[in-house]
Amino acid sequence: MAEPQPPMNTLPLRGRLLANEPMSAHTSWRVGGPADRYFEPADRADLLDFVRSLDADEPVLWLGLGSNLLVRDGGFRGCVIALHGALDDLKLDAPEPFSNAPRVIAEAGVHCARLAKFVERQQLAGLGFMAGIPGTVGGALAMNAGAWGGETWRAVYEAEVVLRDGSTHWLTPSAFEIGYRSVVAPAQFLGFLGARFVVTPDDGSHAQATRASLAQRKATQPVGRPSAGSTFRNPPGDHAARLIEAAGLKGFRIGGAEVSRLHANFIVTDAGAKAADVEALITHIRNTVNQQTRIDLHPEVKIVGEVAHA
């Protein structure tokens, strides 16, 4: 007997709602089992209509580009909501009365590199580090992503969120617990819809620094192979890449997953790789570094879903 399919939404949705969608098609590692339900909204209104129709206890995974995510091979028992391509508005914010401080509004589906380029074209600065983040604004907000010494939440004026009941709210950073690559949201939080970012005028020097950093990134990171960016957070006073390389793990492989020979804090995958290969390699790296240094590396990537059964 065929297994029962998850209930499909009965609203007149304008986006794409799929059952048993393989997450390997939507993550930058190109691995991952199927999500019970997968929804790509047509726009903001379509998204909010869908959120209001969700069962209160249905697990939900908010997805950008899947660049900081490992979905296990058994898949995700719940609904994945993919924002990239729907929430993609990006514009200068109208200034508040009696204030000349410029701000930029970016929705959650906007690619971070696009945001950085937009700000540069407006001859503004403060978000150049976003050019080094391989994900969307929503993902950057969710993990306080950073690059080249910059961090997302240092530049946030306020963020727009949606709660489980479908209501939306603009919240200041004080409503969140924000740490290094860590953000704890208020109760009933479902996901980020976007943010207002503080920027400053640029004389051109910040844009030059961004281009130099991008060139260095291209030269020192495996940008042409499937990866999820940095795999581990940097421990206090040190760098995860240095620790992994010192442990002799550059090029170490489990199945179709390998520690990059170019940058030790990147795990890259080959065609045919499994999420289990990546997770096993993460565990091996942590154990090896801990045995040699007594330092516990903490993954930056979010690991979700079910282990596949043989």
Q: Which residues are catalytic?
A: 181, 230, 300
Nearest to 80 by CA among 66, 93, 98: 66
Q: Which of 71, 84, 59 is nearest to 21 (CA)?
A: 71
Task: Enumerate the β-bridge partners of residue 269.
Answer: 257
Beta strands in the chain (DSSP E): 16-22, 34-40, 60-63, 69-71, 76-82, 90-92, 103-107, 124-125, 146-147, 150-151, 156-163, 168-171, 177-179, 182-184, 189-198, 200-201, 253-254, 257-259, 267-269, 302-304
Phi, psi (deg, nearest 5) at residue 55: -65, 145
Return d(Cα 155, Cα 34) in angstroms, integer. Answer: 35
CA distance 79 to 50: 11
Residue 127's alpha-carbon distances to 10, 121, 166, 209, in angstroms, are 41, 12, 30, 12
Summarize the chain as % helix, strand, coil (round to 5).
25, 30, 45
Buried b (16+ CB within 10 A) or exposed e, 113-130: bbbbbbbbeeebbbbbbb
Q: Which residue has the tokens 């990239």?
A: 84
Query: Distance between CA 197 and CA 112 in Å, rounded?
Result: 12
CA 117 and chain centroid, separation: 19
